[in-house]
Amino acid sequence: MGSLENERSVTGWAAKDPSGILSPYTYTLRKTGPEDVCIKVLHCGICHTDIHQTKNHLGMSNYPMVPGHEVVGEVEEVGSNVTKFRVGEAVGVGCLVGCCRSCEPCNSSKEQYCNKRIWSYNDIYHDGQPTQGGFAPAMVVHQQFVVRIPEGLALEQAAPLLCAGVTVYSPLKHFGLIKSGVRGGILGLGGVGHMGVKIAKAMGHHVTVISSSDRKREEAMEHLAASSLSSSPEMGSSSVRRSGSRPGLKSSARVGWITWVTPAWFTHKAYLQSGPAR
């Protein structure tokens, strides 16, 4: 149990160089301030960004770095101004832990667009200390960036909702697609796409998985209950890149929206030519 008066040491799993190997690293958590929630971490998802960051694929990694931004745990302690959370509640933290709180995005609940947003790890907090993520026993997080996990939701299954899940949920919400009977496509089934299929299916959509081959048919149809799978062997192939030829969807697989969740290069225009479908 922490104390409002004390900093404390924790030992997390840190990258110390771009090798991709994590090893124990002991560091100090800040005191639980008046607006802070101290969280005992119970589960943390692994997002591909964690791999990019630990291996310095983006050229901006600082070590030692404790990754993890799909964090779920239990409230262990709250600051004196925290009224939204109680000790013992299940909560989560995603990829942000801070912002400037005064710019236009911050004032319109779009903190992700704040120029001074603070990432959950590999960033510097307001106090000048490095932020460290959820591959650790505990985190201290400002209450603004803590979310409650609803009762009845398995905590380990809630974790991937905090990055992958919200990544696919957000555009559906933004474009007014949270309704049943819509036909949609998930282009790329590699983790985020899995969440996309499940979320869109739960909304009552007819979901077509668009994949470069038939290899993931069983996974898409039987494990995730997708409505159909449309394979485009040309997708991402170097021959398409060179020739500019256009893959696309069969007319029977026309969809009203597509969420792209693949890192591979491909000719995307063809997928936009079918026009809206119901």
Q: Which residues bind Zn ion (CB under 5 A)?
A: 47, 49, 99-100, 103, 106, 114, 163
Residue 102 Ramachandran class (φ > 0 left, ψ -120 to 50 alpha, else beta): alpha
- Characterize the bridge pairing of strands 138-142 and 22-29: unpaired
Comparing CB distances to Zn ion, the nearer of 27 and 119 is 119
Comparing CB distances to Zn ion, the nearer of 99 and 253 is 99
**DSSP per residue over 100-133, as a string?**
-SSSHHHHTT-GGG-TT-EESSSSB-TTSPBP--
Comparing CB distances to Zn ion, the nearer of 99 and 203 is 99
Asked if residue 8 lies in contact with residue 28, where contact means CB atoms within 8 angstroms, the answer is: yes
For residue 130, give Cα distances in angstroms to 93, 157, 231: 17, 28, 44
**Closest distance of CB 228 from Zn ion, Å:** 28
Comparing CB distances to Zn ion, the nearer of 49 and 122 is 49
Comparing CB distances to Zn ion, the nearer of 134 and 247 is 134
Amino acid, single-letter form, for residue 205: H
Owner of token pair 């919400």 = 173
How many helices and strands in the chain, by DSSP H and E?
7, 13
Instruction: Provide the 3-class DSSP secondary structure of residue 221.
Output: helix
**Closest distance of CB 254 from Zn ion, Å:** 30
**Closest distance of CB 106 from Zn ion, Å:** 3
Q: Nearest 5 degrees, angle CA 70-CA 99-CA 74?
A: 35
Length of the chain: 278
**Closest distance of CB 250 from Zn ion, Å:** 32
**Closest distance of CB 29 from Zn ion, Å:** 22
CA distance 34 to 142: 9
**Closest distance of CB 50 from Zn ion, Å:** 7
**Closest distance of CB 103 from Zn ion, Å:** 3
Comparing CB distances to Zn ion, the nearer of 99 and 182 is 99
Comparing CB distances to Zn ion, the nearer of 132 and 231 is 132
